[in-house]
């Protein structure tokens, strides 16, 4: 279970953690797709005792690499990539180009 877009996270996350302690759910996490909320996600990773975080991450949106990914790795928090293809916009960038040679 996750708190989507950090909506009411201070109220909902304790409930989800209680459910996890009761074995009603297995994993607890938070999400947000907007880079403006990456600092808040980082704080939740560092202080929230989360199993996972879902955030926007793609080759065009790499702002999570400097701080959030290392914070998650240090705490064993799984990272789920949201919009890795930027709602299919990235396919237009490579449309018609040949695939790179395999090594």
What pLDDT was estimated at residue 37? 95
- pLDDT, averaged in runs of 10, over the chain (103 residues): 96 97 98 94 94 94 94 97 90 87 79
Burial class (CB in 10 A: 0-12, 13-18, 19+), 64: buried
What pLDDT was estimated at residue 99? 84
Listed in sequence order, the residues at least 6 apart from 34 whose beta carbon sits closer than 8 Å to its beta carbon are: 56
**What is the domain partition of the chain in residue ranges?**
2-94
What pLDDT was estimated at residue 88? 86
pTM of the model: 0.85
Q: Collapsing DSSP states into helix, strand and coil, what is residue 36?
A: helix
């Amino acid at each position: 279970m996750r708190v989507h877009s950090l909506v009411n996270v201070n109220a909902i996350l304790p409930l989800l953690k209680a459910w996890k302690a009761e074995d009603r759910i297995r994993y607890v996490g938070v999400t947000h797709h907007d880079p403006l909320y990456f600092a808040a996600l980082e704080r939740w990773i560092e202080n929230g005792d989360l199993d996972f975080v879902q955030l926007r991450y793609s080759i065009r949106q790499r702002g999570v690499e400097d701080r959030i990914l290392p914070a998650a790795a240090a705490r064993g928090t799984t990272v789920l990539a949201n919009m890795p293809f930027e709602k299919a916009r990235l396919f237009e960038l490579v449309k018609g180009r040949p695939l790179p040679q395999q090594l």
